[in-house]
Amino acid sequence: MKNYKFVGGIHPPANKLSAKLPIEKAPLPKKVILPLAQHIGAPNEAIVAKGEEVIIGQVIGQNKKAFVSALVHASISGKVIDVAPYPHPLGLKIPAIVIEASDEQPDAGYKQEKTNILSEDPAHVQGLIYAAGLVGLGGATFPTHVKLSPPENKPIDTLIINGAECEPYLTADHRIMLEYPNQLIKGIQALMHILGIKQAIIGIEYNKPDAIEVLSHAVKNTSGIQVAGLKVKYPQGSEKHLIKALLNREVPLPPGLPMDVGVVVQNIGTIYAVYEALYWGKPLIERVVTVTGSGIKTPKNLLVRIGTPIADIIEYCGGLTDDAAKIILGGPMMGMAQYTTEVPVIKGTSGILVQTESEVPASAYHDCIRCGKCVSICPMCLLPNLLGIYAEKQMFAEAEAAGVLNCLECGCCVYVCPANRPMIQMIKHAKASIMAKRRKAKAA
């Protein structure tokens, strides 16, 4: 399939250390911490109390009023030992349910694979997706059932499956594509059934030729699903850029969404979770996490229960090396650095990356030298240099006028900046201040 061009982008070293390692099941955690907000949208309320016994797959967090929200399920059987704020990968302490594992650990879901999903009523199947608490597992954690219910005036014609995995280091999606191709096809067919569409495209970067081959083989006897190779370029896996590259359609600026151009994009991990939810009745209680980086002794692709503290996972992977300096949840470009290993793996945790001292950039940053590198590579055609300076000088109205809210926070500008300027922090600061001002104006 032809690839269309998108402006900007960079070519960071791929560093896919764990690409050849099969997905391994991590040992069951003794304790899980399940934050009540693991998705974009309204946070959940705990519907179990301290001291209660819960079984695996039981709904423990729910928001009955909000549509844009996703259920939280118990990822192990055991006893609720605390409902209180705990450190969350995004930084602040957020209310969470802590479960201590009991001795007996049954499996979640059906005993046998279901067969008749494609003959059931689409609305019913969509209900199953909501009940499984599915969110986008690429990292943005947008509730899946919301993406699958476009308003009537926005007809969908194409489902794009995002197998780009353009973040360096991460290999979780790559491994799923290699190991579960037929299951992915079933998941894709189910989503096409829900959306009532005939076309699906799986986009995979050319640096994963084995995955392209395996999936091309798997789609042979299906209709409407095709596999497309994608140029190797970061941020190829951004939904907007993926749609541009495959269909040459441009998603309007925020609040524009892919559905405005007739497209729904789902990540490979999400598709696999859809398959498990529909065919095996398994809610989102585990996910594949890439544990990687030169600061970890043995990199692995692990199937981990949601809520497992990352300290347990690091220990299972042989621990940290002596010069380990920085732990990042997610990839190196968009992930969040952590200050404690008590934080749990949540639905959006695609990787645990440990960098060593020599890999962490020096602390000093300098004034902008106006070289224009960031401008030439910004995939949203913004002026990151200017946005950064505006944020530094607290000129948020000017930053808004210059389009700061359209920024993807992909990190290309920081990657190329010769003055080491932390543009993404500045831009996030500007965004947060603009949003705070809006909230204040709304409340007044």
Kindly list the residues in this chain that would bind other proteins in the complex (CB under 8 A): 87, 91-92, 337, 339-340, 361, 363, 365, 391-392, 394, 422, 425-426, 428-429, 432-433
**Do residues 14 and 208 make contact, with C-beta atoms less than 8 angstroms apart?**
no
Q: Which structure tokens are listed for 317?
A: 């992977």
In the complex, the smallest distance separating the C-beta of residue 425 from other proteins, rounded to whole angstroms, is 5
Crossing angle (nearest 10°) for helices 384-392 and 423-443: 60
Min dist. Cβ of residue 325 to other proteins (A): 9
Q: How far apart are CA 37 and CA 344, in angstroms?
A: 12
Nearer Cβ to other proteins, position 317 or 391? 391
Closer of 39 and 429 to other proteins (Cβ):
429
Is 210 or 342 the residue whose CB approaches other proteins more closely?
342
Cα 415 from chain centre: 21
Q: Which of 227, 205, 207, 38 is nearest to 133 (CA)?
A: 38
- Tokens standing for residue 414: 């920081």
Minimum distance of other proteins from residue 302's CB (angstroms): 25
Name the residue nearer to other proteins (CB basis): 253 or 369.
369
Q: Closest separation between CB of residue 360 and other proteins, Å?
A: 8
For other proteins, the closer CB: 153 or 339: 339
- Written as six digits, the tokens of 168 are 């360096």
CB of 387 to other proteins, least distance (A): 13
What is the DSSP pairing of strand 351-356 with strand 286-292? parallel
Write phi, then psi, for 4 (nearest 5 degrees).
-90, 160
Q: Identify the residue whose tokens are 């948020």.
A: 396
Which residue's CB is nearer to other proteins, number 305 or number 429? 429
Q: Where are the beta strands (DSSP E) in 308-368?
A: 324-329, 336-338, 351-356
Q: Name the minimum Å distance from CB 366 to other proteins.
A: 12
Compare residues 129 and 408 and give the one whose CB is closer to other proteins: 408
Tokens representing 46 are 């705990």
Alpha-carbon distance of 296 to 322, in angstroms, equals 9
135 DSSP 8-state letter: B
**Shortest spacing between CB 426 and other proteins, in angstroms:** 6
Cβ 10 vs Cβ 416: under 8 Å? yes
Measured CA to CA, the distance from residue 342 to residue 241 in angstroms comes to: 35
**Which pairing describes strands 263-267 and 158-163: parallel, antiparallel, or unpaired?**
parallel
Going by C-alpha positions, the residue among 243, 256, 271, 252 that lies closest to residue 157 is 243
In the complex, minimum distance from the CB of residue 432 to other proteins, in angstroms, rounded to a whole number: 6
Closer to other proteins by CB, 319 or 422: give it.
Answer: 422
- Residue number, 70 or 426, with CB nearest to other proteins: 426
Q: How far is the CB of 305 from other proteins (least distance, A)?
A: 24
